[in-house]
Amino acid sequence: MTTQPSDAHRSVTISRTAPGKFRATNARGGTFDFGSGGDDQFTPVELLLTAIAGCTGIDVDIFTTRRSEPTQFEVTAEGDKLRDDEGNHMGPIDIRFQISFPEGEEGDAARKVLPDAIRKSHDRLCTVSRTVMLPTDVTSHPAG
């Protein structure tokens, strides 16, 4: 078994701020407000899609920007929320990369590594999408 680094543990705390409104606070003190979908705030499902797109986007950004700064960098995550015999869940999630680099040698180098960077993120590096794809136990219980 591999020993985990001391910074492996992650934690967020969710506090209700109003009906249908919540605030997430991470261990570093950062906050993010979200809601149940009655306004323009992100919903938990949208946060899941954001986490997947953000995680894989960061991976791809690290690999490609070593060669060239992009002229466009967008990652879209989308899928359908399903309600079936298995309960509520997301169907297949599609991640689409719209990334452009300038003409020239550096841009060519970034374009060349882009498909491999996307594949590495999907197959191994992105903790969020890997967690969704692998069997991962989630437990819920009252504190105490």
Distance between first and last Cα of the chain: 30
126 and 59 in contact (C-beta within 8 Å)?
yes
**CA 88 – CA 65 distance, rounded (Å):** 38
Give the residue extent of every domain in the chain: 11-42, 43-133
Q: How many CB atoms sit inside 10 A of residue 64's CB?
A: 25
What is the 8-class DSSP label of residue 103?
S
**CA 40 – CA 58 distance, rounded (Å):** 25
- Give the model confidence (pLDDT) of 98-111 as tens digits: 999 999 999 999 99
Q: Which CATH class is domain 43-133?
A: alpha beta
**CA 69 – CA 101 distance, rounded (Å):** 7
Task: Tell me the whole-structure pTM to 2 decimals.
Answer: 0.90
- Give the model confidence (pLDDT) of 68-120 as tens digits: 999 999 999 999 999 999 999 999 999 999 999 999 999 999 999 999 999 99
